[in-house]
Amino acid sequence: MIEITSSTELPSNRAALTLITADNLKLVAELATPVSTSPVATLLTLHPLPTHGGFMDSHILRKAANRLPALAEIAVLRFNTRGTASPHGVSEGSFGDGIEEEKDLTAALEYLQGIATGPIWLLGWSFGTELAIKYGYNKDIAGAILLSPPLRRAGENDLERWIGSGKKLIALVPEHDEFLAPEAARKRFSVLPEAEMIYVDDAKHLWVGETATKRVLNEIVRAVNPSKYPLPESY
């Protein structure tokens, strides 16, 4: 048994991928899946703002890929949106300000729909939540989990499109988020009464620290594969 810490990487099958968008751009991607079982569900991750350091290797997304295939039988697809560079490589194209990135999300979804990975959940973080909100409401997904939604590019009109969609929308809002704190989030998400709002004490926009990481990963598992909740502290 080993204690699970911030640097722990548990066993998984990892495949480096190239996603092709409708406008013929090649996007760098990786799919992590359980070693000996089929995934019960898949997270399609959408990273923070690339013009401010966000990429597929941002720490929460990386730790999700490092732990959830082994601990919760959840596959994790990560990719760099157009023009984004990370340790995994550089995706073609240039930043599309959350508009052109719809094609990137569609390319990732189409890839996952072509293989057996179970229900698909969008997992957006900051800028990634904007893509999930704006473009996920009419896609073939089970739902979306939003980490630190700023509601800048996506607004109330975008949230209203989720009404009656049958898809779950879960927002994790840090107590000390400088972009959208809990009080403001309550007001702005009120247009979508069925949204599940989770307000996390002492947390910040970037979910720094192992305590914050474990809270996020546990909330993901609670939504996506509740039979594996809570996650163990060791492996």
Task: Please give the pLDDT value at position 116.
Answer: 80
Q: Where in the sequence is the domain holding 186, given as residue range(s)?
A: 15-228
What is the tens place of the pLDDT at every residue in 14-58?
999 999 999 999 999 999 999 999 999 999 999 999 999 999 999
Handedness of CA 152, 157, 160, 165 (dihedral sign): negative
Q: Quick check: is 4 in a domain?
A: no
pTM for the whole thing?
0.98
Q: Which residues of 28-61 are buried (b: 16+ CB within 10 A; e: fewer)?
A: bbbbbbbeeeebbbbbbbbbbbbeeebbbbbbbb
Whichever domain contains 50, its CATH number is 3.40.50.1820
Task: Please give the pLDDT value at position 34.
Answer: 98
Q: Quick check: is 9 in a domain?
A: no
Q: Which residues of 17-26 are buried (b: 16+ CB within 10 A; e: fewer)?
A: eebebeeebb
Q: Quick check: is 7 in a domain?
A: no
Q: Quick check: is 3 in a domain?
A: no
The tally of domains found in the chain comes to 1
Q: Quick check: is 5 in a domain?
A: no
d(CA 164, CA 179): 28
Q: Quick check: is 234 in a domain?
A: no
Tokens of 163: 């009404």
d(CA 132, CA 88): 22
Tell the burial category of 87 from Cβ atoms under 10 Å away from its Cβ (0-12, 13-18, 19+): exposed
Q: Which residues of the chain have pLDDT under 50?
A: none
